[in-house]
Amino acid sequence: MSIVKYGEWEIDVDIEKTKQFYKNLKIDNKSQAYRNFAKYCDILTDEEKEFFNSFAINPLMCKVEEVGMSKKHMPCGGHYYVFGKYISTPKEILFSVEELVENDFVDDRPDTRVYAGIFEFDFQNPENEFYEIPDDIPDGCICINFWCEEMPWLLDEKCELESIYPPKFWEIRRRFKSWKENRQLHREYMNSLKQDIVSSFKNSDICFEKMSEKDVREYKKQWLSVFAPKDANMRELNNLCVSSSHKYKSFLWHIFSFEFVEANTEKQAQILFDKKLKDNAVIIFNADDLGYRIHNLSNLNSDFLNSCYDVTVTAYDFLWTYSKTHEEYIGPYFYER
């Protein structure tokens, strides 16, 4: 083990376990953004090398995300995993949405990121209210996100990824800043939504277990495979119900509104749903990858769901499903296999 300190961050790092992790890790290294990033890793500065070495990180082992080419730069980011634990961390200072609006959407809190060369490292602390940690993080790891706004273009080939903005560095900065601000607002909204949901469950004596975002996405695919007709165009159904589409935002209940499956609707759907013995079920909030496995839910009826924006409740064994839509004149739908 090794103690690493950067600013207010102090981490106890398992060097050998982290080295072994990166030795066994395999990633897709075919994209232009990754190949350009890998070329830069061949010429890291001493400061950048020191950061990676202190955590036993192999900088080449990451998925690279980009926002397009601007002049001679290819801004990109990603994340690394390190086996270890936090000893001390900076104190999290929270903003309410109202305070952020009053401050003209300017986040002037102390910057807790670590800077090394062109890298901005953002340590993700699960003890904080807001953090970004992928669902597939191995047990016993901490997550370090990074961003390189001034990543140079080093490949001999022409870049195929062009920014939608004019090639000016401040446009990229503005785009990234706006993206971060919107993401922060969405986090606060999601946190408020989760608190309301948990409070409602507890007030109604409903036992629940939160699903991970990955589990929710997999569950939606399973839901569609179960309820889709055998002769259905699955590509079309997938666009309408699960994945993004150019024409429609995806919702599970599109399988009913687009008449792939004939279901009971309106008042009849509510009556049939309320009659079900709902000992165990799954509730999915369609607008986000948010879901709960719920037990002892006799109090979860159509009136309870009327306060929800857009949800689908389904029996554990997929024998029935009920969708309350966000549209005033569409649904709700109840379907029993």
pTM of the complete model beyond 0.75: no
Say how far apart CA 281 and CA 79 lie, in whole Å: 35
pLDDT at 105: 57
Which of 50-64, 90-104, 274-288 is predicted with the least confidence, judged by mean pLDDT?
90-104
Backbone dihedral angles phi then psi of residue 196, each to the nearest 5 degrees: -65, -40
Q: Is the domain of 187 the same as that of 216?
A: no
- Same domain? For 141 and 229 the reply is no
Query: In the predicted model, is pLDDT for residue 165 greater than 50?
Result: no
C-alpha gyration radius of the chain: 24
Same domain, 141 and 223: no
The token pair that represents 311 in the structure block: 């949800």
Overall number of domains in the chain: 2
Short-list 259, 255, 252, CA closest to 313: 252
Q: Would you say the C-alpha torsion 123, 134, 309, 315 has a positive or negative sign?
A: negative
Range of the domain at 267: 205-336
The helix or strand, by DSSP H or E, that contains position 189, with its residue range, turns out to be helix 169-203
Cα 238 from Cα 45, distance rounded (Å): 46
* Structural domain includes residue 8: yes
Q: Tokens 């589990």 sit at which residue?
A: 215
Q: Do 112 and 149 belong together in one domain?
A: yes
Q: Is 65 exposed, middle or buried (0-12, 13-18, 19+ CB in 10 A)?
A: middle
Q: Is the dihedral of CA 159, 164, 167, 173 positive or negative?
A: negative
Do 322 and 288 belong to one domain?
yes
**Whether the Cβ atoms of residue 105 and residue 173 lie closer than 8 Å to each other:** no
pLDDT exceeds 80 at position 193: no
Same domain, 95 and 16: yes
Q: What is the mean pLDDT of the chain?
A: 83
> Are residues 93 and 152 both part of a single domain?
yes
- Bridge partners for 141 per DSSP: 83
Residue 138 lies in a domain: yes
Check whether 230 has a pLDDT greater than 90: no
Residue 290 lies in a domain: yes
Q: How sure is the predictor about 96, in pLDDT bands with cuts at 50, 70 and 90?
A: low
**pLDDT in the model for residue 334:** 94
3-state SS class at 41: helix
